[in-house]
Amino acid sequence: MLRTRRCTPLKELVEFAGRCSGHRRPVMELPPALGRLQAALMELLPGEPLMSRDNLDSMRVDSVASGTRQGLARLGIRPGIGRAIAPLYLGRGQGPARLDVWRAAVHRH
């Protein structure tokens, strides 16, 4: 029997990622109508849209992996707890942030 877990709201995930990476930023929740308008306007910008109405709609559906699918081990995927793993790749000097030293040396931030 699978246990059901409370899904973490996107706002909390963004705030957590900001804390882990050392880049805290205010996160403002938009009323649904304003968010939809913003997404529609972003669709009009040139290039790949940063957000679309379809993206917005898909965020209304929980997308939490259970870690119970067969074949994950063959792919080298081990289920883990996000709060334990995220600091390992979002923390200072991890992931893309490991290039910060070189960016600073050429005065790019």
Residue 2 has pLDDT above 50, yes or no: no
**Percent of the chain with pLDDT strictly greater than 70:** 81
Q: How far apart are CA 50 and CA 7, in angstroms?
A: 24
Give the single-character DSSP code of 61: S
Statement: the pTM of the whole predicted model exceeds 0.75: no
